[in-house]
Every structure is written in C-alpha cells, then in structure tokens.
Structure 1
Amino acid sequence: MKFFFLLFLIFNASIAFSQQTFSGKVVGAANQQPLAGASVSVLGTNNGTITNDKGAFTLTVPSADDTIVISMVGYYSRKLHAEVLYKDKVVYLQIAEKALQEVVITGYATNRPLQQTAASVGLLTTRELERFSTTSLVPALNTLPGVRMEERATASYRLSIRGSSLRAPFGVRNVKMYLNDVPLVEANGTLPLNLIDAGTIGRIEVLKGPAGSVYGAGTGGTVRLETIRPNAGESILESSYMAGSYGLRRFTATAATGSDKSAFLVRYAKQKLDGYRQQSAMDRDAVLLSGQLFPSDKQKFTFHTYFTDLYYQLPGALTREQYDADPQAARKLNVDQKTSLKLQGINIGLGHQYQFNEHWQNNTSIFGVFSFLDNPFTTDYERNANQAFGGRTQTTYSISIAAQPSRFTIGGEYQHSFVNSRHYENRVGEPGKMNFDDEVTMDQGFVFAQTEANLPGNFIFTLGGSLNFMRYDLARISDADTTSNYRNEKPIDPQFSPRVALLKVINPHLSAHGSISTGFSPPTDAEIRPSDGSFNVRLQPERGLNYEVGVRGSTLHQKLSFDLVGFWFKLNETIVSRTNPDGIVIFDNAGATRQQGIEAALAYTFIQNINRPVKLFKVWSTYAYSHFRFQNYKQNDADYSGNKLTGTPPHVWLMGLDFESQIGFYANVTTNYTSKLPLNDANTVYADSFFLLGARTGIKRQLGVKWQVELYGGIDNALDKKYSLGNDLNAFGGRYFQAAPNRNYYAGVQLRYLIKH
C-alpha cells in the first residue's frame, strides 16, 4: 500500500508539475498595437482562448513542450513552444496579404477597412513599392489610376492627381502631403518630391479629389507617406548596393530595432547618376532618423528627422525638331549657363497620440522645415533660405448611438513660413549683379470637423467640413533700380470646404459609395512671385466641386478583387502656366474646367499560400479615362473653350504580374500604355503615346539563422521606346519635350543581419 501510495503521489506531482498556466500578449509587428480577438490554442487539442481588447491572454498548457498556435485574420500564424513564453511574454504577428475588407485606411481620421471607406483611395504597401527600383517613386505611383507622376529632368518631379498639378513649375501644388502624419511642405507652398528617397518610404495612401473635411485646402487630393519602420521583436543591420545604366550608383545602410515599448531606425542613402541626357547628372545624400515610443497602452510618441543634400543639372526642354534629331541632347543655353539646382533641406516632425478612455482620443503633431536653394537658370540665379513651422491636432470622440457606433472629430492645422529669396544675374553658373531681394511671409491654416455614423441597413454616413485661411506678405528689400522698400499683401478670403459621403455595405465582400465634396487651392509663392521679378497679386485660388460614385469588393473566394470609381469635377479659376521668351514660367487664371473620368483597378490572385512551392501568383490591371475640358477660357483673342486640358492623357492603362516562390525567387512584370496628350492650351501640339515594358526579378535566401541575402536585377523601357515623360506646357519657342531614358538596366545586392528578440 505504501508503494502504491508513493506512485500515486509521484504521478499527481508530475501532472501538477507539467500542467502550467502561461500568460502573454499578442501585438502587430508593424505598429506594436495590441491585437484583440487573436486565437491562442494548444496544437492538437481543443484547449484555447482569444485575446482581450489589450491583446492579452491566459492559457493552461499540459506541458511546457507543447506547441502553441497563435493566429488572426490578416496576419501570418505563429507556432512556438510554450516554454518560449517563459522568456518573452509578447508574441508578434506579421501582416499577411490582406483582402479588401481587412486593409485599414488611416486617412479621413476613421481607421476603417478599405471596404468601408466612402472615398476613392489608392494604396501602395511595401510589397507594391518593392516591385520597382528604389531609385524613384515614379513607376510605383503611376500604377494608381488617376495618379500621374512626371520626371522633367533627373530628380525633377511633378505629381498630379486627376490632372491637378501638372501646371506647377516644379514639385507639387494643389495636393496636400504628409510624412508620418506630419504636414510635409516647403516654405514656398510647393513640395520638391526629389527630397524624398524612395527607399525610405514603406507605405503610401493617396486620397483622390477634395478631402477638405479633414485636410483643408487642396482640390487634387492628399498623399500620406509613411517611412519604413522596424518590426517589433527584431533588430536588423542592412546594407545594399545597386548599379545600372547611365552611371547609376546607389548605396544604403540601415540599422533598426523594435520592441513592444519602442522602435528606432536610422538609414543613410547615397544615389548618383551621370544622366541619360547631356547636362543631367544627379547626386543625392539622404538621412532618416525615426522612432516610436509606447510608454503605455494609452499613448504613443513618434518622431522623425529627414535630411537631404541634393544636386542635379537641368538639361532644358527641346523643340520637336531637336527632340526627333537627338532626344538625349540638352538645350544649348542650359549648357552654356550651367543650369542646375542644389537643395539642402531638413524636415523634423514630432507626434503624440493619447487614448484618454474608450471614448476620447487625441493626435497632435508639430513640425519644422528648413531648406536652402541655389538655382542658376538660363537668365536668372536664385538663392533661397526657407523656414517653416507649424502643427496639427485632432480630437476624436467615439460613442454608440442607438446601438450604432459613431465618431466625432474636430481639429486644426497651422503653418507659418518665411522665405528670403534673392535673384541675381546668372554668369555661367555663378551669381552676378543682384536683380532683387524679396522676403515672403505666409500664414495658412484651417479648422475642421467631421462626424461619421453607422446607420441601420449597413449604411455609413460621413459629414464634415473645414474653414481655411491664408495670407501672403510680400516685401521687396532691394532691387537693381531702387533701394526703396515696398510691400504687397495677398490675403485669401476664408473658404469653407464641406464634404458629405454615404457608403452601403452590401455584403462582407461588396460595398458601394458616393460623395459630394468641395475644395479650394490657393496660389503658391512660386506662382504669385515668379522669377521674372513681378508680383502677381491678381492670381485667384482655384475652387472646385466634385461628385463621385464607386463600387469595390471581391468575389470567387476573394481571388478576384475590383474597385471602380466615376467622378465629375468642376474647377473654377483654374491656374494655367505659360513660358515667356526668357524661359520663365508665369501663371494666369483660366476660367473653368470640367473634369469627368472613370478609374478602375482589377486583380486576380491565382495562388496565395506561404506553405506552397509557389507562394504567390497574381495578375492585375488599372485603367483611367480622363475626359477633361476647358470651359469659358479665353486668352487675348483666342478662345480655348472646349479644348482638352493641357498635360493630361485621356487614357492610361497598366497591367502587371507578380510571382513569388518558396525557394525565394520572385518576378514582377509591368506594362504601361499612355495615350497622346496636348502640350498647349490651343491643342495644336501633342506628346506621342507610348507603351512601356519593365520587369524586376531576384532571389532572397536565408544564410543560417540570422543572415539573409537578396540578389536582384531589372530592366526599364525594355522595348526601347522614345517618349517624353516630363513636358513643358505652353512653352515659348516650341520647347515642349523632356526626353525619358531609353532602355536601361540595374542590378544590386542586399545583405541583412537579423536578430529576433
């Protein structure tokens, strides 16, 4: 009896010893946010639980050697031995390729799935951005229907959403841009996209059309950029080198670490190019320092410092005859005058998010922008010192009304900027006698409010608006003819921009939406004060009214996804550009334009399974039809009413193929057809249509536990087509054409050292 009693005690003791209770927390690796509703279970048993609203769980496990499975829709599942939870109580899940109803859109202050967003939104994640060379954002952004990015010269970009800003002299106007939720703008009111190194961007959201209910002024839309961020629970050291045609050399070095309490990243990128045209070399250094702090479940701090030192040459536009004879030639005057642009800029942003309780939340950010510009042009040498600072805040109140969730948001944004702009004679790339010295002060801002409510019948209703204000103070300190000071003021009357939208969730995989929105776009400093020395204080803001309807969803077991949008946009006081005999771009209001269009995106995923030999096989296509026309537009004795809108192609069609295998091999193929487009308001000169083919392929391999190597290569303009991507519109002397590169290649290697915590 004593023997059996002893065995009984040993048996029960072994059970008690082996059966243990573990607790932990499940969070998203990309943003360190807790994942509520994740499944946590013991493999091969019915023993399981789900995480609470803070991502926490408690689970009793028969043995420390048992395997725990953690899974959640939209994330890759993880399997780990129970004993691992002794060392680390936090489990990180990586985002998987998501269906439409799982893709979260952070714009419009709603954080709703794309399937429940009552607006036309273009989204580029790391997967889409890495389909192309990281030397430029041009090919990736051009895959979004209705979005057109041009390269007028090496590193000289323009961005248009539904024909919004192709008339800008450089950079971006008529479009709001944010970097990590911080307003991103130069002091002169435009944004030179060339300051952004494409490899530092990990996600892009493009909100098309007026979004005045949240983002204030801007009739074109809003672009929200997010920099790359480390995954929680990982530390990496990464280095890459790329070389290619036309003397391309690119080097990057990255160090990052992430945990459940913090994430830090520092990245350096160096890119040089001899140029695909005469007088078109480029040299850029970019440094990004960013971080996130999570002191508690209620609050999050973010910061970034982005510094760029950029130099590139300006080859100038060519006439049709010069372009046909030698598209790689530069304009002789540009070569003789050594035209170029040197820009040093730093963008600093700080953000804070606080969740007071289940109802109240506040997001606040402050920012500063400082830049220095040296720009010898054909007849003018401009030196600018720019500075700007400001902030944005929004407070959200969430509550259920009649058992339906509702959300109320109120906030504001303000920016103060100062530009000291000095213009000299250009003496072969060196400043000569001063022509004039200007100081420009600008104050702009807006307050906004928005309410969003779920209604019976699976409807979601949104109503909002913003009140915008702006004021320019223009002071001429001195000029070549007089030493007396004089000032001009350009106040913009306060403008109210409302937006109303309604979405119907037809079923979990299908929704339809419609919206009416208004917007206005004030003239920038570069338009009010062109480089000919004039003050164009008569220039008026653009004002627009937009109607939009759309349907999006998926079918065939979510293999086929689609997004179709139609819009009708009426823009008044449209700002158009023309070039004077000295090559200086000046601006006028051109009555009104009527812009109607259709945008479509379609994708079919044949295979998507990380456990199969072929992990991904997908084909996709996007299409944009733009029926844009001038209305009531007269210039001197010419009447351009009814003409096609300058610089906008009526048809753009892209197709692509994506392939990934279990052994690490991948391939991406993209085609782009763009129809001919008018280059002047009279519609007498057109840029030719073009069809482009490009591809990127490579292989990623794991070397041991901690090392990963990637070898890749690509080809752009594989069919060696001659085309002009960046065009000078309404150019004096017929100098319209800026040739794009011929067939070109690139290849590179990336080495990563990864430590999982």
Structure 2
Amino acid sequence: MKLKYSIFALIALNASLLADEVVTLEQMSVTATKIEKATKEISESIAVVDEKTIEDKNILNIQDALQNIPGVIAESSSNSPSPRLIIRGAGLKARFGVREIMVMKDGVPMTDPDSFTRFDFIDMQDVSSIEVQKGPGSINAVNSTGGVIQLITKSVFDEDKNSIKVGAGNDNQRNVNLKLRGAIDENDFASFTLSSRKINNSWRDNNEFDTTQVTLKYGHIFDDEATIENELSYTESNLNLPASMTKNEFEEFKKSGKQHDTSNQWQHSARDSKIISLNSKYEKEVGDITYKPRFYFNSWEHFHPVTGLINDADDNKVFGTDLEFNLAHKLFSKDAMLVGGLTLKMDKTNDAKKYQYRDIQTQTVTSGWPPSSVTQIVKTLSNEKGALSSTEDSQTLLYGAYLMESFKVTDKLGFDISTRVDKLKFDIDGNEITKYDYASKSYKAGIGEYAIDSSFTLLSGKLGSTYAITDNTNIYASIAGANQAPTTSELGENEDLKKSQSINYEVGLKTRTDKYSSDLALFQNFVDDEIIQIKDANGNSIYDNAGKTDKKGLEYNIAYDLTSSIQVGGAYAYSDFKFDTFNEQVRGSLVSRDGNYLPYIPKNQYSLFAAYNLANGFKTRVTTRTYGSYYMDNANTQKYEGYDLITDFMIGYEKNNHNIQLNINNLFDKYYASEASKDVFGVESYKAATPRMTMLTYTYKF
C-alpha cells in the first residue's frame, strides 16, 4: 500500500512541475546503446554523473560518485577504491571486489570474463563522466545481470587546458594530479596524466593506502577523417585492508570513532597491485557504416593476504577485442540504427600461489572424547608468507556476438530490440596442499590435485519502447533478461553450480526541461537459481543456487533549478527483495528461507542535495544520504538500524585559472557501520564506515 501511495505522489509531483514546461536541455548518453542518444530516449533506467559533479565533490574513489544514485549501493569499508557495489541486489554475493556488474572504461571492459572487477587501476581523476545502466539485458553487459557502469575519460582529441591539482587533509591525506595535453601537429595529439595519492587512516589499524598512476594517450586523425586513439597506463597500488569488528568492539567504535586492537584473527589483510594496461580504439566511416574496433591488453600482479591464506600471483594476462559496427539506415521511413559486433576476451593466470601465514599467535585446544588437541590460529602477527599452500593455473575464455536495432515507428514512438549470446569456458588446474579449516581454526591437508573444466552459454536480450507524452516527457517500458555464470572461485567451492537467469520488467517516466529533470522507474526482477554465499556446517563460506528470488522496486530522482544560481534535488529507492524459494544449510541441515528478505538491502534509501554557484566564482554544495534498516542474515533474525543523514559539504572559489575548494565528507563525524552481518552460528560482524574526512584542494589551469 505504501508503494502505491509513493507512486501516485511522485507522478503528481511530476505533473505539477510540468505545468510550466520550457525548452529541453537534455543529458546525452554515449554508451547505453553504443550510439549517442538522449537519456530521455533510452528505454531503461540510466543515471549520468557529469564532470561538474565529479569536480565539485572532488571524487577520488568510485563509490563517492555512485552512492547517491537510487538503486545503487556503493560502500567502502577501507576508505579506498575497493568498494562493495550492488545494483538492484546484484553483487550482493561478492566476498570481495565487485561481481555481477559490468564495468567499462571508454568501451573497454574492466570486468574479467568471470564477472570480477578490480578498481585499483582506474584513475578517477581522469574520468569526465559516469553512466550507470541498471538491470539485465544491455548489449554492453557480458555475464552480468546487475547492469553496466561506464567510465568515460577525457579524450586526447578534446581541447582542454593543462592543469595541476594538489590536495591535503586529515589523516595525512595527500593528492597530486598533473594533466598535460597538446597538439603535436594538426593530425596528432598526445596527453599525459600523473596521479599520486596516499592516506594513513590512522583512526584504525592496518588501513594505510597509497597509489601512483601514470597514463599516456596518443591520437591520430587520418586524411579520410578516421581516428585512432591509444592509451597506455601503469598503476602501483598498495592497500592494507582493516579487520572487521565484533558487536562489543563496534559499540566501542561508536563511542570513540577509533578501531584499535580488535580480536579479529586476520589483522594483516592487504592488496598490493602493479598493473600495465594498453588499449586502442579505431573509428572509420564507410558510407552508412561506422567501424569501431577496439583492442586491449593488461598485465597485472598482486599480493593479496585474505582470510586464512596469502594469495601471490605475478603472471596474469588479460587481452581481448570488441569489433563493433554501426549501420545507419531507414525503417518505417524513419532514421534507424543497427549496432552489432563480435567480442573475445581471455584471462590467463600462470602459477598463482597461496601460502599459509608465517607469523601467527596460536593456542592449543583439547576437546571431544577421546580427547584430541588442535593448534588454533588466534591472530596473525604479520603478512609474511609461510609454507606453500596451493598452486593454480587457469584460463577463462569469453567470446560472443551482439545485435541491436534502434528505430522509430512514428515521431513519438520508438523501439530498441537487442540480443547477445556468449560462450564462457573455464579451464583450471591446481594442487591444494593445505587449506584453512574454519571449524578448527587451523591448517589442514588439502584435496591435492584438482581440475575444473566447465562452460556456460549465456543469453541476454531486451525489448524496450519509449513514447513521447509531450516534448519534454517520455514514458518507457521494457522487458530484459540475462544469465549470470558462477565465478572461478565459486566453482572451486561448488562445481555443481548452475548459471542464474534474471528477467526484469520495467516501466518509467523521464522528464527534461531547462530547469527540471526527473526519472521515475518501477521494476520487478525475477531471478532463478541466484548464486548465494552461505556458511556450511564447518563455518566455511560456500556458494549455492538459491532457488528463486523476487525483487520489486521503485526508484526516483529529481533535480530542479530554483534560480540560475541554486539547484536542489534528491533521490529515493524502495526495494522489496525476497527469497521465493531458498534452503540454507545450517549445521548440516537445510532450513527454509522462503519469503525472507535478502540481507543488507534496506527497504528505503534516499539522498538530497543543494548546490549554489555564483557568477563571481563562489560555489558550495551539500549532499546528505540515509540508508534504512536491513536484515543482517538470510534468516531475518536481526536488523541493523542503518544510518541517517550522512552529510558531505563543499565550499570553494573559482576565478579565471584558479580553483580552491574545501571538501568535508561525513561532516558531522557520525560513527556507523558500512556493513553489518550475522552468520548461521549467530556471530555478528561489523565493518566501520569512515569518520569525518577533510581535504583542501587547489587547482591551477594553464
């Protein structure tokens, strides 16, 4: 009933604001359909974070850009580019990193073939805008049912001033960014970007972070107006990952804002990475056809101590291509566009190793009858490598094809019809010498040599339609579906996992005028065989197919120019996500969770903002967000209260080539959890959100 009233209220609000419609000032999407198109004309929910918002909020981490988009959950428990990212419930299963969501940069996939994404090697200070597509069915989304996040960087062909930016803040925050761009001659262009960041996060143990990123871009315009743009980048990132807290430790954190000397076993988690990335984009028009082939390659290594074991992989290669074409033609006597292409991506890892922790504090525990003793790990003392635990070689291959037809039947009625099919193959060989056993809290003999050879056929598609109610308002409807395959690590835990099937039904309303912009979306998403993380009888994290889930939701966002200097707005999301059928293993028995809510997803989220920009250069912005209560476990036995009105503030002055601004995140220094969970044994775990962070930044353009 509340949902119905909310819908009527939002539609009424749209109607009242549309009474004085004027000329449209439309945002454009350059990626949702692989062709430039007004967001109002796209038959799905899409959000755009523009360059001014990125600059005003001094966005250095991806979560800071996305956390106010309705239907998107973006939280970091490490105050670094290592967020937990969820779109409409997809991504919830990830133990670390980002799953079920396709992340792209300038059309190049950042997501591995098995749907894992790292944000270490994305320099947010080179990003000019971000587009977020929600739900399954996009032709951009390969093995991803949650949606697509597209990062658009500053093209070497775009005229722009050189700049240097320096910033400093509390907890020894430091940031330096240098951008140089110029024309070599009338056909050749080059740019150079250097970013260096660090932060101590001294309010808690083991959470230092630093990164250095260098990017070179070169572009050439041929005599026939074809273009090629190449990018070479290098990243070195060092991140210590803090431990989670018990309930009592979290209560202490809420009083003091400090997190020291926790009882967590794994005190020395980290992820240190070195990444070299290369991509090349070519574009050429031949009659009505535009060819857009892309080629990319990256080589990465990381040292990644996690729960129980230390991962050390220094020979990882990813390469791929996207051979895209656009065909402009006529259909129903109207301009139409056919987009198609072939894709291939391979992720190859040689001799990846896992080690036991060398330096540990232990205790001997005797139990059972007849009595037996086991040496338990109480706490790590360093992240130095001990005995070799396992080795593994893996190759993941993903290849496919896609087609989309975008056309209009009349001046007001348009359609998008798309489909893609992909083949995903896993080839994994390894030798597990020892493993960490959660039940005994000790290392035990592994399974020895193993091999996994699995493949999945992944289908996705969408039928969408838009209709122009007025010159400024479109209504849309769509049905879309996609498959989600298990990841490499999930198959290692359970080879019998099946791919999931997501079907999304959606209707929405989009309005654009020169003063007012709003988006309203209502959706229902059915997922069969959703892959869920659970605990087995011994406390080990395993994965299983959940049966069926039903996700119903409403999303709304609005921005309104009160005057030429003042803009206000906000966003709201209502999420009613439940298990239809799901049996969870609890101490060796299956327990029904049918009808329970998915954990971690609040029913209500909202955010508000106000921005003030004067012609003399003075500017300020206030943003606040609220995250409602949510269940901490699949059993729905306990709720975390969420958080209210976490406020970010900016004040600055921009004149000619100079810009100085002060950004304060979590202005009122609230102490809360970015994530709260409870396992099947009743053990609660809390990850602290970041207290107040302040940074003063100066930028000079030349």
Report the TM-score range of the alignment, normalised by the length of the smaller protein: 0.7 to 0.9
Structure 1 position 336, deviation (Å) = 7.0
Name the SS for the 1:526 alignment partner: helix
Which piece of structure 1 moves more, 184-193 or 345-354?
Answer: 184-193
Residue in 2 aligned with 1:28? none
Q: What CA distance in whole angstroms lies between the structure 2 residues aligned with 1:300 and 1:180?
A: 15
Q: What CA distance in whole angstroms lies between the structure 1 residues aligned with 2:537 and 2:299?
A: 33
Is contact 1:415–1:443 with CA below 8 Å preserved after alignment?
yes
1:41-190 matches, cutoff 5 A: 99=24, 101=26, 103-155=28-80, 156-186=82-112, 189-190=115-116
> Which of residues 123, 137, 140 in structure 2 aligns to 1:197?
123
Structure 1 position 187, deviation (Å) = 6.8
Residue in 2 aligned with 1:240? 165
Residue in 2 aligned with 1:422? 353
Q: What CA distance in whole angstroms lies between the structure 1 residues aligned with 2:387 and 2:553?
A: 49
Q: What CA distance in whole angstroms lies between the structure 2 residues aligned with 1:417 and 1:729?
A: 34
1:483 to 1:634, Cα distance in 2 relative to 1, 3 A: closer
Q: What CA distance in whole angstroms lies between the structure 2 residues aligned with 1:157 and 1:246?
A: 20
Structure 1 position 486, deviation (Å) = 3.9
Q: What CA distance in whole angstroms lies between the structure 1 residues aligned with 2:156 and 2:90?
A: 34
- The residue identity in structure 1 corresponding to 2:137 is A
Which piece of structure 1 moves more, 563-572 or 683-692?
Answer: 683-692
Structure 1 position 411, deviation (Å) = 1.0
Name the SS for the 1:507 alignment partner: coil
Is contact 1:514–1:549 with CA below 8 Å preserved after alignment?
yes
Residue in 2 aligned with 1:304? 231
> Which of residues 491, 496, 512 in structure 2 aligns to 1:528?
491
Q: What CA distance in whole angstroms lies between the structure 1 residues aligned with 2:681 and 2:323?
A: 45
1:695 aligns with 2:649: yes
- The residue identity in structure 1 corresponding to 2:510 is R
1:404 to 1:744, Cα distance in 2 relative to 1, 3 A: same
Is contact 2:161–2:701 with CA below 8 Å preserved after alignment?
no
1:606 aligns with 2:562: yes
Q: What CA distance in whole angstroms lies between the structure 2 residues aligned with 1:212 and 1:267?
A: 31
1:280 to 1:580, Cα distance in 2 relative to 1, 3 A: farther
Is contact 1:647–1:729 with CA below 8 Å preserved after alignment?
no
1:414 to 1:623, Cα distance in 2 relative to 1, 3 A: same
1:451 to 1:483, Cα distance in 2 relative to 1, 3 A: closer
Bigger CA radius of gyration: 1
Name the SS for the 2:248 alignment partner: helix
Name the SS for the 2:222 alignment partner: strand
Is contact 2:113–2:398 with CA below 8 Å preserved after alignment?
no
Name the SS for the 1:170 alignment partner: coil
> Which of residues 541, 546, 562 in structure 1 aligns to 2:504?
546
Is contact 1:315–1:330 with CA below 8 Å preserved after alignment?
no
Residue in 1 aligned with 2:376? none
The one-character-per-residue Cα deviations of 1:702-733 (angstroms, maximum 9, x if unpaired) are 2xxxxx22111121112222211144574866
Is contact 2:40–2:474 with CA below 8 Å preserved after alignment?
yes
Is contact 2:243–2:267 with CA below 8 Å preserved after alignment?
no
Is contact 2:195–2:214 with CA below 8 Å preserved after alignment?
yes
Is contact 2:115–2:143 with CA below 8 Å preserved after alignment?
no
Count of residue correspondences? 634
Structure 1 position 457, deviation (Å) = 5.1
> Which of residues 209, 215, 222 in structure 1 aligns to 2:141?
215
Residue in 1 aligned with 2:669? 720
Q: What CA distance in whole angstroms lies between the structure 2 residues aligned with 1:589 and 1:125?
A: 38
The one-character-per-residue Cα deviations of 1:193-216 (angstroms, maximum 9, x if unpaired) are 233232221111111111344433
Name the SS for the 1:129 alignment partner: helix
Residue in 2 aligned with 1:575? 531
Q: What CA distance in whole angstroms lies between the structure 2 residues aligned with 1:113 and 1:297?
A: 28
Residue in 2 aligned with 1:465? 419
Q: How large is the Cα RMSD of the aligned pairs?
A: 2.4
Q: What CA distance in whole angstroms lies between the structure 2 residues aligned with 1:235 and 1:295?
A: 24
Q: What CA distance in whole angstroms lies between the structure 1 residues aligned with 2:484 and 2:326?
A: 27
1:679 aligns with 2:632: yes
Is contact 1:233–1:260 with CA below 8 Å preserved after alignment?
no
The one-character-per-residue Cα deviations of 1:589-624 (angstroms, maximum 9, x if unpaired) are 21111011111111111233xxxxxxx321111111
Which piece of structure 1 moves more, 545-554 or 718-727?
Answer: 718-727
Q: What CA distance in whole angstroms lies between the structure 2 residues aligned with 1:751 and 1:410?
A: 43
Is contact 1:337–1:426 with CA below 8 Å preserved after alignment?
no
Structure 1 position 230, deviation (Å) = 5.7
> Which of residues 427, 450, 462 in structure 2 aligns to 1:499?
462
1:379 aligns with 2:308: yes
Is contact 1:577–1:729 with CA below 8 Å preserved after alignment?
no
Name the SS for the 1:637 alignment partner: strand
- The residue identity in structure 1 corresponding to 2:560 is Y
Q: What CA distance in whole angstroms lies between the structure 2 residues aligned with 1:445 and 1:538?
A: 23
Structure 1 position 127, deviation (Å) = 1.1
Residue in 2 aligned with 1:45? none
1:124 to 1:263, Cα distance in 2 relative to 1, 3 A: farther
1:406 to 1:280, Cα distance in 2 relative to 1, 3 A: same
1:449 to 1:363, Cα distance in 2 relative to 1, 3 A: same
Residue in 2 aligned with 1:590? 546
Name the SS for the 1:311 alignment partner: strand
1:669 aligns with 2:618: no
The one-character-per-residue Cα deviations of 1:645-701 (angstroms, maximum 9, x if unpaired) are 122111111111111112211111101011012221112233322121111111112
Structure 1 position 163, deviation (Å) = 1.3
Percent identity over paired residues: 20
Is contact 1:216–1:448 with CA below 8 Å preserved after alignment?
no
Residue in 2 aligned with 1:280? 207
1:392 aligns with 2:322: yes
Is contact 1:100–1:553 with CA below 8 Å preserved after alignment?
no
Structure 1 position 255, deviation (Å) = 1.2
Q: What CA distance in whole angstroms lies between the structure 1 residues aligned with 2:45 and 2:113?
A: 29
The one-character-per-residue Cα deviations of 1:261-311 (angstroms, maximum 9, x if unpaired) are 444321111111111422211111112222333224642212222322111
1:731 to 1:165, Cα distance in 2 relative to 1, 3 A: farther
1:383 to 1:189, Cα distance in 2 relative to 1, 3 A: farther
Q: What CA distance in whole angstroms lies between the structure 2 residues aligned with 1:187 and 1:310?
A: 23
Name the SS for the 2:26 alignment partner: helix
Q: What CA distance in whole angstroms lies between the structure 2 residues aligned with 1:295 and 1:539?
A: 50
Q: What CA distance in whole angstroms lies between the structure 1 residues aligned with 2:596 and 2:305?
A: 35
> Which of residues 686, 689, 698 in structure 2 aligns to 1:740?
689
Is contact 1:154–1:312 with CA below 8 Å preserved after alignment?
no
The one-character-per-residue Cα deviations of 1:235-279 (angstroms, maximum 9, x if unpaired) are 52x222211122211122221125874443211111111114222
Is contact 2:156–2:218 with CA below 8 Å preserved after alignment?
no
Which piece of structure 1 moves more, 671-680 or 583-592?
Answer: 583-592
Is contact 2:313–2:353 with CA below 8 Å preserved after alignment?
yes
- The residue identity in structure 2 corresponding to 1:311 is N
Is contact 2:413–2:467 with CA below 8 Å preserved after alignment?
yes
Q: Please give the TM-score of this superposition, normalised by the length of structure 1.
A: 0.80
Structure 1 position 485, deviation (Å) = 4.6
Name the SS for the 2:53 alignment partner: helix
Structure 1 position 350, deviation (Å) = 0.8
1:382 to 1:214, Cα distance in 2 relative to 1, 3 A: closer
Q: What CA distance in whole angstroms lies between the structure 2 residues aligned with 1:583 and 1:426?
A: 20
Q: What CA distance in whole angstroms lies between the structure 1 residues aligned with 2:211 and 2:537?
A: 32
Residue in 1 aligned with 2:393? 439
Is contact 1:656–1:668 with CA below 8 Å preserved after alignment?
yes
Q: What CA distance in whole angstroms lies between the structure 1 residues aligned with 2:306 and 2:480?
A: 40
Q: What CA distance in whole angstroms lies between the structure 2 residues aligned with 1:726 and 1:398?
A: 48
Q: What CA distance in whole angstroms lies between the structure 2 residues aligned with 1:583 and 1:664?
A: 57
Is contact 1:304–1:350 with CA below 8 Å preserved after alignment?
yes
Q: What CA distance in whole angstroms lies between the structure 1 residues aligned with 2:460 and 2:33?
A: 14
Is contact 1:600–1:624 with CA below 8 Å preserved after alignment?
yes
Tell me, which stretches of 5 or more residues in structure 1 are unaligned? 1-97, 530-534, 609-615, 703-707
Structure 1 position 580, deviation (Å) = 6.8
Q: What CA distance in whole angstroms lies between the structure 1 residues aligned with 2:608 and 2:40?
A: 23
> Which of residues 421, 425, 428 in structure 2 aligns to 1:474?
428
